[in-house]
Amino acid sequence: MNIDNIQGTRTPFYLYDTDLLRTTLAALQAELHHHPNYVVHYAVKANANPCILREIKAAGLGIDCVSGGEIRTVLDAGFRPEQIVFAGVGKADWEIQLGLDHGIFAFNVESVPELEVISHLAQQSKKTANICLRINPNVGAHTHELISTGRAEDKFGIDMRDMADVIRLCHTLPHLRLRGLHFHIGSQILDMDDFVQLAERINELQAELARQGVAVEVINVGGGLGIDYDQPNENPVPDFRSFFNAYAQHLHLLPGQELHFELGRAIVGQCGSLLTRVLYVKEGHEQRFVIVDAGMTELIRPALYQAQHKIENITQTQNLRLTDWQFLDADTALYDVVGPICESSDVFARDITLPLTRRGDLLAIRSAGAYGETMASCYNCRPLPATYTIEELSSTLDDEA
Ligand SMILES: *Cc1c(COP(=O)(O)O)cnc(C)c1O
């Protein structure tokens, strides 16, 4: 990252590396090449920035939405309705109607009352609703408590013990077409065994359905593949191969069955950084605080999930001509990096080593491409963060030159 391009830009802002996004998408497509019956939907809640959606569309991925607003956003961005799947435990009537009006690929249905409402609305508007049943497989994932979604105690999906009954109900309710089964066990999962467990659970469920003479055309295993937050420079592209292989080796698909995925974080997580400037360095008695101009309003993951993002002082690293991993030998200190918001949880990192840091230094909070900008808020009456691609900032400079 060339600091000259960004030094003068007003902070805080998100900076997207579209080259890295393209590289990531190319790696994903290279893996998909080996699996012609695999379909990937991009989970747009991870990042809905137009510059991101352009690349996702160019790569030909489908879309996973979790709200009517997201459906509108991706239709406006030029995605086709038959590329869209729509999940969520609390779909409002207007959101269902929107999906029906456009004829989306599938509603991922999370409860019996939702199924009844979809059937009713479809009947009213003389449409057929494509349905996948979101089954809660009761598989725990090795991830943070607050981003685990596939255990019996989580609010998501239909309990697997009720699956057969609900499928029978599907066949009796009018205007429904059952396309498949949907699962999603959580996010930021790095232990491939979690996906193997899900695959094995799906095998059991499919065997049970086969005994009842039921076969579906689509199995959708959701997303959840994690990224390397500790070492974004060393591992900018996630391990798609191991992820797909976990399913290829363990999930028994029926002849002609498609396997769908919904990846968010793994696709966009590493391509975004939050750029922020140091306002003050406050020497406390216990701690030394770097107070920056970005806060939980721009990036809430540390406050919400105790997430840890790598933080680089790009001003000092550049001044000292140090590479990322050399700076530990230079003059450094331990800092807490905190935001300006009036909340004790507004902390980006505790006790991290940075080169000696001064007011005005630019920090990059890395791996912020997923669940960063999309979760930004106006708390404390703050404006939403600006966003740029690296190319945009370079071309602004060229224009000025
Ligand atoms: C959030 C979400 C995803 C994407 O999760 P990632 O961990 O970002 O891959 C996929 N499917 C559903 C239903 C989701 O809610």
Q: 11 CA to middle of ligand 1, Å?
A: 29
Q: How far apart are CA 305 and CA 284, in angstroms?
A: 26
Q: 283 CA to middle of ligand 1, Å?
A: 41
Ligand 1 atom nearest the C-alpha of 262 is 10
Ligand 1 atom nearest the C-alpha of 223 is 9
Q: Is the pLDDT of residue 398 over 60?
A: no
Q: 222 CA to middle of ligand 1, Å?
A: 6
Query: What confidence category does residue 366 fall into, taking pLDDT thresholds of 50, 70 and 90?
Result: very high
pLDDT digits (tens, 9 = 90+) for 191-210: 999 999 999 999 999 999 99
pLDDT at 272: 98
Ligand 1 atom nearest the C-alpha of 264 is 8
Q: Which of 361, 334, 344 is nearest to 279 (CA)?
A: 361
Ligand 1 atom nearest the C-alpha of 226 is 7
Q: What's the whole-number mean pLDDT along residues 365-372? A: 98
Percent with pLDDT over 70 in the chain: 94
pLDDT digits (tens, 9 = 90+) for 22-66: 999 999 999 999 999 999 999 999 999 999 999 999 999 999 999
Question: Is residue 251 a contact partner of residue 219, using CB atoms and an 8 Å limit?
Answer: yes
Site to probe by mutation for ligand 1, drawn from 44, 136, 187 as the one with most ligand atoms within 8 Å of Cβ, is 187
pLDDT digits (tens, 9 = 90+) for 92-147: 999 999 999 999 999 999 999 999 999 999 999 999 999 999 999 998 877 787 77
Residues 6+ away with beta carbon under 8 Å from 19: 390
pLDDT at 401: 44
Q: Is the pLDDT of residue 278 over 60?
A: yes
Average pLDDT over the chain reads 94
Q: Is the pLDDT of residue 302 over 70?
A: yes
Cis peptide before 12 (omega within 30 of 0): yes
Question: Is residue 305 a contact partner of residue 147, using CB atoms and an 8 Å limit?
Answer: yes
Q: In terms of pLDDT, which residue wins out, 397 or 347?
A: 347
pLDDT digits (tens, 9 = 90+) for 223-265: 999 999 999 999 999 999 999 999 999 999 999 999 999 999 9
Ligand 1 atom nearest the C-alpha of 147 is 7
> DSSP letters along 324-377, please?
TTTGGGSSEEEEEEE-SSSSTT-EEEEEEEEE---TT-EEEE-S-TTTTGGG--
Q: What's the whole-number mean pLDDT along residues 299-317? A: 95
pLDDT at 327: 59
pLDDT at 105: 98
The residue nearest atom 1 of ligand 1, judged by CA position, is: 43
Question: Is residue 110 a contact partner of residue 181, using CB atoms and an 8 Å limit?
Answer: no
Q: 138 CA to middle of ligand 1, Å?
A: 17
Q: What's the whole-number mean pLDDT along residues 333-345? A: 96
Q: How far apart are CA 195 and CA 333, in angstroms?
A: 40
Q: Is the pLDDT of residue 3 over 70?
A: no
Lowest-pLDDT choice from 6-20, 81-95, 231-245: 6-20
Query: What confidence category does residue 321 fall into, taking pLDDT thresholds of 50, 70 and 90?
Result: low
Ligand 1 neighbours, Cβ below 6 Å, are 43, 45-46, 64, 66, 87, 184, 187, 222-225, 262-266, 370
Query: What confidence category does residue 399 fall into, taking pLDDT thresholds of 50, 70 and 90?
Result: low
Q: 187 CA to middle of ligand 1, Å?
A: 7
Bridge partners, 262 (sequence order) = 41
